[in-house]
Amino acid sequence: MLAVVADGMGGLADGDKVSQAAVTAMANGFFHAQGKPGHVLLSLLEQANQAVNGLLGPDGLRHSGSTMVAALIENSTFHYLSVGDSRICLFRDGALYQLNREHIYCNELYTDGVNGLCSLQEAESHPKGGGLTSFLGMGELKYVDIPAQPVVIREGDVFVLMSDGVYNALTEYEMIQALSAPGSIADALRSAIQAKGYSNQDNYTAVIVRRHDVWLDDDGNLREP
């Protein structure tokens, strides 16, 4: 199973068209992909970036763009990659873990701080600290975040691929509450975000991948608890 979230960059022209082009390229390529899951994801990302760069053309590069988080689930393993500041999180045993690292300017500033080029306080408070340092539509990608090993999926695991409109609206506690709610996690997240009533609420998108307990009944048919 392939899961993808692409978030068009806010304030830039045609961000919706760019993100749609990225997702379409990933989905179309997936039907013909072969090989190891990690390599498949990288190949699909290459196709998505080429599609976005081609849509924008040489003069349009960096004038629009999109983030990308993608996961490939195969044989109880969760393979993933990311570009930009969308997030992939794992909710396991009541705790929420962020799996990927965001490609934002403040992370580069933190390195400068460690090297004595600026203070850590300056890095944390920089007005452009949230700016993207890697995204589809910049031409050659600067960073791609990939894990050393895929995550082995356990029963009860919930993976969330989300745009910044989700995690900027909710605290970690509020997100855990939504992920723990009975019924639809998507509905719980939506209700929690809408309850905030932010006048400047960004578009919010999440893909939720959940592992359910499944067993065979007496007739050999699959049945969920």
Predicted confidence (pLDDT) per residue in 16-33, tens digit: 899 999 999 999 999 998
Please state, in angstroms and as integers, the Cα–Cα distance from residue 189 to each residue in 16, 71, 127, 169, following that order. Answer: 22, 20, 29, 10
**pLDDT greater than 80 at residue 213:** no
pTM value is 0.88
**Single-letter code of the amino acid located at 136:** L
Give the per-residue pLDDT at 225.
44
Q: Which fold has domain 2-223?
A: Phosphatase 2c; domain 1 (3.60.40)
